[in-house]
Amino acid sequence: MIWLLAAALALLALLPLAWAMVRPARALDRGSADRALYRAQMAELERDKALGRLDEAAYAAALLEVQRRLLSVPEPQAVKAGGRGALIAGLVAVPAIAFALYFMSGVPAMPSATFAERRDSAARDDALLAQLRARLTAMPPGSPAARQGWMLMADAQRSRGRLEEAAAAYVEVLRGGFDPEIAAQLAQVLIEANQTDKAAAFLADAVRLAPDHVGLRFLSGLAEAQAGRPEKAREAWTALLASAPDEAPWKAMVQRRMEALP
């Protein structure tokens, strides 16, 4: 029964690949694929929320991250469609390799980790992050090595839900020079941590440095909305929409956000 279920799941996972192989080819660039992926992720988040798998806070944080990534996707460009040889190879190779690896190392009866094991693992992670922090503070501030290390620290702390520590690490990354993408991640972490006034003040400076960055301008409106200033949020998003190309894939999402304002 386990193997039948695994085979059914494998076939289900590969159905989109099979459909792409048999349907008529059409030209898609990388941006088109990314936009389709992010729209599918937003739909999945909606389903998980409706089924009670995500609470409101987790849903809002995940949706914001997907929307930020959608905003950063370049505008569509026509490119030549590729052949189907790679799709056919993947359709055959993926399940074959997966089952081969599982036969060699899979343990279906392995019990889940105990609380003590999870606690010890978390303690080891804390120790490693403490060592990383000690090394980073000894490096010249703003150096390329320090910048890369603080970025790792920010991502690690953010994945563990430690938003204040993640925000502090992003600040250290920006000491090496302003980067609008890093600034957008810092602003998003501040918003997720409910530090909306701090996020709004930071975004006001960031937008002045990168006035054409869509993500920063969107987050600026979002920070104002969550801080209880809907008129300022509407002003920021109206200006963003006014400067957007007609084919911008994120316009509908921003418009929905505006319509939800009080």
User: pLDDT tens, 76-120?
Assistant: 554 444 555 665 666 667 667 776 776 666 666 666 667 777 777
Among all chains, which residue has been given the structure tokens 């990354």? 173
Domains, the chain, with CATH or none: 2-105 (no CATH), 115-259 (1.25.40.10)
241 contacts: CB under 8 Å, gap ≥ 6: 251, 254, 255, 258
235 pLDDT more than 80: yes
Buried b (16+ CB within 10 A) or exposed e, 101-133: eeeeeeeeeeeeeeeeeeeeeeeeeeeebeebb
pTM here? 0.60
Query: What confidence score (pLDDT) does residue 32 get?
Result: 66
* Closest alpha carbon to 35 in 77, 5, 4: 77
